[in-house]
Chains A and B, each alone.
Chain A
Amino acid sequence: MVKPRILRIDLASERPVYEQIVSGLRAVLVAGEFAPGEQLPTVRQLAMDLGVHHNTVAESYRVLAEEGWLDLRRGRGATVLDRRGPKPNAGAKQGFIRRLEELAAKAIADGVPRAALAAHMAALAERLRKS
């Protein structure tokens, strides 16, 4: 059975909703769950389903378009692009490692068991290797 492609946000989160949408969609796109040329839901549709304002979703799509994930030509909705990986950027890699370590430390401080965290990160690493 094909895994359903679902976007989840938390309106009570401290993170702005548009950032949650960008992160959620980026994760789906990085995992290769959308083939190039496939359409994402329209701004109106996704805003309606999430119960948020159109502008919030439109802003998220704009961010993803700037990153090269989406083509937002008028009248064609949001089309997934065949995004080739950008050139290796040492700064981005270091920044990501630092943020990941901070995130892991926060999770442990919040009571997430180390073993569970390690298992999740291993599963994530495995998915990344396969995608």
Chain B
Amino acid sequence: MIAHPQIVFGLLMGAVAALVSVIFWVIPNWSRQEIFFAVTVAPRFRDSSEAAHILRGYRVQALAHVAISFALILLGTLEQRALPLILGILWLVFGPLVAMARAHKKVLPHAVAHSTIREASLEPRSIQLPGGWLLQFGPLAMLAIVAIYLSLHWAQIPDKFPVHWGLSGKPNGWSVRTPRGVYGPLLFGGALVIGISVLAYSYSHLVRRVPVPAAPAMRDYPHRIAVLLLGVEYFIAAMFSLVGLLPLTGSPGAAPILILAGAILAAAFFLGRWVSHAQDNLPHAMGLAGDGTPDSCWKLGLFYFNPDDAALFVEKRIGFGYTINFARPGAWVILALTLLVPLGLAALTIFQRRP
């Protein structure tokens, strides 16, 4: 029995909404013990009834925002209307942020003075990306192998081939057998992989370093972030390799997509736990209150702006990983380059779907 496409789509959207809800639910747990909604607090504050009240309020609001946004997205998609769709996506981005900003404001009166002590190692910095050069080049090699395979089977590629399918399973986007049409997705995947590699390399060079002998976790945490980024590179390479092979394979069917989605969820869950576990150890390792950045430099708890700090990247206060110091001009360059990726993806999608 084949389910109605709209029901399948509704179920799929429900699953995505549930996943997004879980992410927003657990995000406050992904920061150091002494950072609560981006505010430096006493280590025991998280266990207080006041903290529990603020956390509960945030979660109720965040879940309400997710529910509203997905209702709008569902409406826009099923009715094929752009306004509810765009509104739903914007609501999903900004709604939970508003909930976070409100929680941040409520925590501010409970802020404690952060440590003013700073330590720096004078030892030479040794930088090692995980897996060495061989593993680092794996994603690009994967894309290159697919490109070679396509060139060897060029004659078997149809003049016009589908690259996008609708809810009913019928193709609704096409591309043609030209170097741009065939190799375009692989080149774009390669550009994404190189962009993430540059980001990983920048992190390894430009993240604040704390004397390691006193704080092994401070070395462990950046390493785990680097492993996570390498995992993302492999995922992107695998995804664009599959897309690159579409001219030869035709419709991939539902099974590979479901397997891929399951693998992404499982990997995201385990890698997320693995990285956030390293973060749990940070405050104990440093022995200093906070993360070494002043609360006053965090705008809405999300954006770091400190002209007196030479660091381009600092630890995020909400979620794990790093964010940029918006007061540094170099940070704006990185932001612009990061925005180029989704814009490029949008341009590629439009180009590929042209009949």
Partner of B119, one of A6, A12, A40, A53: A6
Contact between B308 and A52, CB atoms less than 8 A apart: yes
Q: Is A51 an interface residue (CB 8 A)?
A: yes
A52 to B119, CA, bound (A): 11
Contact between B122 and A28, CB atoms less than 8 A apart: yes
Contact between A41 and B120, CB atoms less than 8 A apart: yes
Q: Is B99 an interface residue (CB 8 A)?
A: no
Contact between B116 and A49, CB atoms less than 8 A apart: no
- Distance in Å from the Cβ of B43 to the closest Cβ of chain A? 20
Query: Number of B residues contacting the other chain (C-beta, 8 Å)?
Result: 27
A40: chain B residues within 8 A (beta carbon): 122
A28 to B214, CA, bound (A): 18
B312: chain A residues within 8 A (beta carbon): 48
- Distance in Å from the Cβ of A58 to the closest Cβ of chain B? 10
B170: chain A residues within 8 A (beta carbon): none
A86 to B39, CA, bound (A): 50
Q: Is A44 an interface residue (CB 8 A)?
A: yes
Most interface-central of B122, B123, B306 (chain A CB within 10 A): B122
Contact between A4 and B308, CB atoms less than 8 A apart: no
Chain A interface, DSSP helix/strand/loop, else mixed = mixed
Contact between A51 and B293, CB atoms less than 8 A apart: yes
Within 8 A of B (CB), among A1-60: 4-13, 25, 28, 34, 39-41, 44-54, 57
A4: chain B residues within 8 A (beta carbon): 121, 123, 211-214
Contact status of A39 and B124, CB under 8 A, knowing A8-B119, A48-B310: yes
Within 8 A of B (CB), among A34-92: 34, 39-41, 44-54, 57
Contact status of A7 and B310, CB under 8 A, knowing A49-B208, A49-B209, A49-B210: no
Within 8 A of A (CB), among B78-128: 116-125
- Distance in Å from the Cβ of A109 to the closest Cβ of chain B? 23
Q: Is B216 an interface residue (CB 8 A)?
A: no
Interface string of B7-45 (1 = CB under 8 A from A): 000000000000000000000000000000000000000
Most interface-central of A11, A25, A46 (chain B CB within 10 A): A11
- Distance in Å from the Cβ of B133 to the closest Cβ of chain A? 23
A44 to B117, CA, bound (A): 19
Contact between A53 and B307, CB atoms less than 8 A apart: yes
Chain A residue at smallest Cβ distance from B309: A51
Chain A residue at smallest Cβ distance from B292: A51
- Distance in Å from the Cβ of B222 to the closest Cβ of chain A? 13
Chain B residue at smallest Cβ distance from A38: B124
A28 to B311, CA, bound (A): 24
Q: Is B206 an interface residue (CB 8 A)?
A: yes
A28 to B120, CA, bound (A): 13
- Distance in Å from the Cβ of A40 to the closest Cβ of chain B? 6
Contact between A6 and B308, CB atoms less than 8 A apart: no
Partner of B120, one of A11, A12, A34, A50: A50
Contact between B117 and A8, CB atoms less than 8 A apart: yes
Contact between B118 and A51, CB atoms less than 8 A apart: yes
Contact between B121 and A49, CB atoms less than 8 A apart: yes
Partner of B208, one of A28, A41, A51: A51
- Distance in Å from the Cβ of A114 to the closest Cβ of chain B? 26
A44 to B207, CA, bound (A): 11
A122 to B59, CA, bound (A): 59
B308: chain A residues within 8 A (beta carbon): 51-53
Interface string of B173-217 (1 = CB under 8 A from A): 000000000000000000000000000000000101111111000
Closest 10 CB pairs of A and B: A47-B310, A49-B120, A12-B116, A5-B122, A11-B116, A4-B213, A48-B311, A50-B118, A48-B310, A6-B211
Chosen A-B contacts, 12 in total, with CB atoms closer than 8 Å, are A6-B121, A7-B120, A8-B117, A9-B118, A13-B116, A28-B122, A41-B120, A48-B209, A50-B120, A51-B293, A51-B309, A53-B308
